[in-house]
Structure 1
Amino acid sequence: MDFRQLYYYREIVREASISKAAEKLHIAQPPLSQLLKRLEDELETTLIHRYRQKWEVTEAGLLLYDYANQIVGQTDQLKKRIHELEVGQGGTIEIGVSSSCYNLLIDYLQNFRSQYPEVKILIHSGDSESLVDKLKEKEIDIAIVMRPSFTDDYDVKVLDSEPNILITPESWANDLPNEPELKDLVHLPFIMLGAMKDYTFRNDLLKSFARRGIKPNIVMECKDLPILVSLVSHELGISIIPGMNNKSLDTEHLKIYKLPQLNVTVEPVFLKLKNIPLSTAANNFWSLVN
């Protein structure tokens, strides 16, 4: 068993298809099928049950996938570290930023770029849930996301949080009082920021309604904040979102209200894996966050 076999096997499992993995790896399908068969023969076990309409990775197959993931990841990290040694303070940082936090990242990027202009920065976008998963898999170095419920595995730097805000189509302003309360919202279609693993925003918001004996008229749910805001601006409903997005919203077709009675807070945070050393460049960026 060698590195190439582990790398190819990892892609087979990730793509859940030998043909798709072969296409991604730019090789023919038969050699990839033969590689999988050789691995199974060498390990004397079935790694993947392959039926006409079914694909199932066995327990042994999952164990090998985890092992392959670690080996490939460690090899990539080794290449990255060696490259940094050769180029001094160059190298690459991979930063994940959720759509709800991207406006908070700009100042840090400008500050870092002024000090380390040779460092390349790769930005990964997505919702907070998917970016935390990428951080766990070591696909990114640092993430700026809404704070998850459990952070024991991470080093955390908390940024200033702001109260949540209500956004409505501008043309619906007459449907609400100047200082609306939650009870004033129940007759309007509500677009909920979608539920995400390890995040309680949705449940906390619903509990706030429930404590008042009411519930929102949820007609849609959306994890992607820019899409959600666009849906509101196109008069498909109203929504309550984390207030840290206020400065970055395109408010041309929106009306924004504060909700001081809503005791639901969301903290934007920088995260990195605990006890996992960062590259020099990534560590320099982390040190700038205060």
Structure 2
Amino acid sequence: MDIKQLYYFKEIVDQESISKAALILHMAQPPLSQQLKKLEIELGTTLIHRYRQKWELTETGYILYQYVEKLLLSMGDVKKQIEEIEKGSAGILRIGVSSACLNLLVEYISIYRKQFPGVKISIDKGNSEELLKKLDHKEIEVALLLRLEHSTHCDVLALKQQQYVVVSPRSWGDVFPSKHVTFQDLATHPFIMLAAMEGHSYYENILKAFEEAHTAPNIVMESKDLTTVIAMVSKGLGYSIIPRVAYAVPMDQLKIHELQQFDFRVEPVMIKIKDERISKATSQFWGLVDSVNTDSTPN
């Protein structure tokens, strides 16, 4: 019993005639009659009583017809879903994001949703180390994070580089003399610092910058989670130095200051495992981000 036989059987029942079904199916009547007979022999039952003047579906024929109707309908749904997934108009986008790149992701997703509203989006948030593990374990297909120094096994889509800025609590008022601050200005205030993370040199670069300015930071708190750092700053517990891409505007509880004497930049990237097949939905997202990033890059 194969799908073609079942399809033929359904058409015979729908037309209530082998001859009429043969016309619809664009085939001769004898081969169609043979297919029906083969199906009955295989199932060990008579599906249709055929008389000279009368045509009648048997009880087993009725049961098979109900089954075939559901089967062919389900197959049509499966085909439609596969076509939608391959076109990128459906399916699932599984993406990971670090807290530093969350605002970037929101912008990209808002554009993507307008073009592909049928795609379901699954977002995992974590630090860079966690996201790499999720990629390796195929829990996500792509990740948006700050460039790592040990991601040679990944394809990398580089995005626009970002400067670091100082964020201070608005409740502090004008604690710094201007919008441009130096490391000497920062040294006497409590510093909530992004903790050291494997693959990133931020921590070492910040400490080196303080040292070169002949001063030292007053570190009162460390966290690998940027969201936590910003929340602590907004509560007035200290200032921090974060990538410009990491904050949303406006942040009512924070003030933003340009940081002098510090040329270190950070580069957001989107990565996927090399030579790994990704879904059509994810491929479409990768292409969209690439296009948006290219359009926004100055000549």
TM-score interval w.r.t. the shorter chain?
A: 0.5 to 0.7
Q: Which runs of 5+ in 2 are unaligned?
A: 1-78, 291-299
Indicate if the aligned counterparts of 2:181 and 2:260 stay in contact, CA closer than 8 A.
no
Say what the alpha-carbon RMSD is for the aligned residues. 2.0
> Could you give the per-residue CA deviations for residues 205-231 of structure 1, whole angstroms, max 9, x where no partner exists?
111112222221111001111211111
State how far apart, in whole Å, the 1-side matches of 2:237 and 2:112 are.
40
Number of residue pairs aligned between Structure 1 and Structure 2: 208
Matched, 1:283 2:283: yes
Deviation (angstroms), 1:86: 6.6
TM-score by length of 2: 0.65
Indicate if the aligned counterparts of 1:208 and 1:263 stay in contact, CA closer than 8 A.
no
> Could you give the per-residue CA deviations for residues 136-155 of structure 1, whole angstroms, max 9, x where no partner exists?
22210110001111221111
State how far apart, in whole Å, the 1-side matches of 2:123 and 2:272 are.
15
State how far apart, in whole Å, the 1-side matches of 2:171 and 2:237 are.
12
Write the mapping of 1:120-139 to structure 2, written as runs, cut at 5 A. Answer: 120-139=120-139
Matched, 1:149 2:149: yes
Counterpart of 1:225 in structure 2 is 226
Indicate if the aligned counterparts of 2:145 and 2:268 stay in contact, CA closer than 8 A.
yes
Deviation (angstroms), 1:87: 5.2
Write the mapping of 1:50-129 to structure 2, written as runs, cut at 5 A. Answer: 85=82, 88-89=85-86, 90-129=90-129
AA matched with 2:261: Q
Indicate if the aligned counterparts of 1:163 and 1:260 stay in contact, CA closer than 8 A.
no
Matched, 1:171 2:171: yes
Q: Specify whether residues 136 and 260 from structure 1 end up closer, same or farther in structure 2 by C-alpha distance, changes over 3 A only.
A: farther
> Could you give the per-residue CA deviations for residues 231-252 of structure 1, whole angstroms, max 9, x where no partner exists?
1111111110011124x15522
Indicate if the aligned counterparts of 2:194 and 2:222 stay in contact, CA closer than 8 A.
yes
Query: Helix, strand or coil for the counterpart of 1:168?
Result: strand
Query: Helix, strand or coil for the counterpart of 1:197?
Result: coil
Counterpart of 1:214 in structure 2 is 215
Q: Specify whether residues 110 and 253 from structure 1 end up closer, same or farther in structure 2 by C-alpha distance, changes over 3 A only.
A: closer
Q: Specify whether residues 165 and 188 from structure 1 end up closer, same or farther in structure 2 by C-alpha distance, changes over 3 A only.
A: same
Query: Helix, strand or coil for the counterpart of 2:112?
Result: helix
State how far apart, in whole Å, the 1-side matches of 2:98 and 2:209 are.
25
> Could you give the per-residue CA deviations for residues 6-42 of structure 1, whole angstroms, max 9, x where no partner exists?
xxxxxxxxxxxxxxxxxxxxxxxxxxxxxxxxxxxxx
Deviation (angstroms), 1:109: 1.6
Indicate if the aligned counterparts of 1:83 and 1:91 stay in contact, CA closer than 8 A.
no
Which has the greater radius of gyration?
Answer: 2
Counterpart of 2:202 in structure 1 is 201
AA matched with 1:191: I
Query: Helix, strand or coil for the counterpart of 2:163?
Result: coil
TM-score by length of 1: 0.67
State how far apart, in whole Å, the 2-side matches of 1:138 and 1:209 are.
40
Identity of matched residues, %: 40
